[in-house]
Structures are given as structure tokens and as C-alpha cells.
Amino acid sequence: MPANAIVSVECIPMRLPFHHWSPPPLFAGRPRDKLDSALVRVRTEDGAVAWGESYCVEPRALTAIFETLIEPLARGKDGDDATLLPTMQRALHNLGRSGPVVHALAGLDIALWDLRAKRAGVPLHELLGGKRRDRVRVYASLLQYYGDAGKLDAVTTRALNEGYTEIKLHERTADALAAARRAAGPGVPIMVDTNCAWLPDEAPAAIAAMAPHDPFWIEEPLWTPEDDRALARLKETCGIALAVGENAANALALERMAEDAVVQYVQPSVIKLGLSAAWRIAQRCGDGPVACAPQVAFFGPGYLASLHLIAAQQKEVALERLYVELAHVPYGLSVPIEKGWVRVPDGPGLGADPEAALAAGQYSH
């Protein structure tokens, strides 16, 4: 077997307990006090190890997908073969063009980029054409506080005092944005992620109510999130930048949105779509009117992959960092956030591995 042949692909569910200075927010109707994703570990015949990350709502389902579908198709294949992932995508396409099979492939894709960069002895950003910036601004992405003005004031102030210069809310009301704006003062960019809050005929009035408080962008304003025609109409009338992409059904939908400039920001998630697709989307944006601002509500190899992408793409955007207190911080020592900035790693591949944290038993799964 060739030295670079894949001998195993493992799915390691990663559960990170967190606290956000408030009772747990609800996710799918249940209290949420842990952030879930899955590490993907690829080994090759010569002992090389590479890492990826997949979106993971249900660890049992994702693990089964890796064991029964992903590893059998990848085992024995050349890890340097650029056609490996597209071939697997076509082989599995009738199992869904979005959802856990696609998320599993996204994690494998990140690991393959890590593997190729390590084999070349270069940081991943070199495979993307090289970094255009040595450090990237980071914004504090607050979880939902359900419009509680006191908590929004306290957590916004806490983030700004730690050196962050941009804030994102996960709220749906003008009053919530007003509370954060009072805490931040004028001039501080405040994004608002509504998580697909409104139908197309509801959004204009809701956004108009937020306008006096100067939102930087409104994120995922519409249900359904890939309704490009409704987004284009809203963009033309609301006067505030729109961002969308975390929940787009597939990469092609985001590529079309970028090409047609139906919003000002597109937000691929590398742990849902893969780094290859996210990089294609970033390249489609180029120097045009739309910026690629990846969604990064995770902390493993996908976080590092997103950092490399932002460092290499043409337009400068900030990196999202969920503003929570984690029981364990993956890569916290490797890529520390210092006064709202993070340096781009220059080590081979992603620039850091989670091996030490795994050995210490820091991930519960």
C-alpha cells in the first residue's frame, strides 16, 4: 500500500461544556449547556495524522455514517488525490445534498487539506495562495439572552472590556439591539443574527425597527434561508447589509447568491460544507460587492480552517468567536485571542493538533 494511502478515518464526537453567564439557551426546545461537533482523524500508511471537524447534532448518527459510509469509501485511497472527495460526494449524493452525510464529508475534506499541507511542509494558507494578513480581527458572538436588557448590557460590556471591538447578537427585537447599543456606544459594529426569524413579508418592519440602533448587518433574516429572490428584494428596500449562509442547503446556493449579489455577506460553514466549497465561495466573491464572512460557531479544526481561509481571501473580514466560557478551550494556547485579534498560525497544515487535549481527556463524548 502506498505511503500516503488512507488507513483509517475516525469520528470523535466533541462535547464542550460552556457557560454564558445566564441560564442555558434553548436548542431544538431543550436547554443547551454543551457545544457539540466532531473531530475527524485521518491516518495514512506512513503514520501521518490529519484533522478535520464535522457539524454534529446527534453523535450516534454521525459516528455510524463515518463507520458505514465514509471510512469504507476512503480507506486505501490516496490522501493526496484531489478527486477523492468529489468522487465520494457523487457516490453518496442520493443520501442527501445536505444534512449529516454532507457534514461528515465536510469534516473529511478539512482533514484532507490538513494532510496535504502537512505533506508539503507548509501552513494550510499556502495551499490557498498564501496569507494576505498576519492576524485577523475577532468578533464576540453572544448567545441568545432573549431580550434581557440587563444581561445584554453586562455581557456586551464584558466583551468590550476584554478587547473585542465588534459584537454579534443572537436576538430578534429592536429592544435587544438597543440595549447592546447603549452598552457599546456609537461606532462599535453590532451584527444581529435572527436565525431565520421572519417570513419575507414580516422582515421589512422588523428591520426598520432596528435601524435607529445602527446594526452592522442583519444575519439570516428570512425563512427559508436560501430564498434568494426574497433576499434580493429585502436588500433593495431595507437599507441595511444582509448576511446569509450558515443554513443554506448546499454550496451552490451560496455561490449563486455571491454571483448575483443578493446579499452583502455570504457565510459558509466549513464544518457543514467543507473547506473546498467555502474556498470556492470566497473566490467567487473576489473583489466584487459581496464579502465571504464564514460562520464559525465551533472551536476545533474547523475554527483553524476558517482562520486560514480568512487570512488568504481577498477581502478582510473578522473571525467569529462564540463568546462563552468554555470548560476546555481547543487550541487556546496555540491561537490565543489577544485584544480582539488572533495571529494566523504558520506551522504545517492547520498549525495545531488536538492530540494533547485528547490525551488529557478534555473532550467528553
> Average pLDDT per run of 10 along the chain, which is 365 residues long?
93 93 85 92 97 95 98 97 96 93 98 98 98 98 97 98 98 98 98 97 98 98 95 98 91 94 98 97 95 97 98 98 92 91 97 72 56
**Degrees (nearest 5) of the Cα angle 155, 318, 297?**
60
Q: Which of 91, 13, 92, 6 is nearest to 53 (CA)?
A: 13
**CATH class label, 126-350:** alpha beta
- 5-122 under CATH 3.30.390.10, yes or no: yes
Q: Which residues make up the CATH 3.20.20.120 domain(s) of the chain?
A: 126-350
CATH 3.30.390.10 segments of the chain? 5-122
| Alpha-carbon distances of 331 from 5, 145, 268, rounded to whole Å | 28, 27, 22
58, amino acid identity: E
Q: What is the pLDDT of residue 311?
A: 98
* pTM score of the predicted model: 0.96
pLDDT at position 362 is: 56
Provide the pLDDT for residue 357: 60
**3-state class (DSSP) for residue 272:** helix
pLDDT at res. 358: 67
The 8-class DSSP code of residue 364 comes to B
Local structure of 275: helix, strand or coil:
helix
The secondary structure of residue 95, as a DSSP letter, is G
* Sequence-distant (≥ 6) Cβ neighbours of residue 317 within 8 angstroms: 265, 291, 292, 293, 310
Partners of 140 in the beta sheet? 167, 321
Q: Quick one: which of 7, 8, 4, 35 has its CA closest to 19? A: 35
Backbone angles phi, psi at 138, to 5 degrees: -120, 135
Phi, psi of 122 (to 5 degrees): -130, 155
Query: In the prediction, which pLDDT does 96 show?
Result: 87
- Rounded CA-CA distance 310/289 in Å is 17
Return the C-alpha cell found at 226. Answer: 436560501
Angle at 337 between CA 334 and CA 342, to 5 degrees: 80
Phi-psi group of 121: left, alpha or beta (phi > 0 → left; psi -120 to 50 → alpha; rest → beta): left
Q: Residue 8 forms beta bridges with which residues?
A: 43
Q: Quick one: pLDDT at residue 303?
A: 97
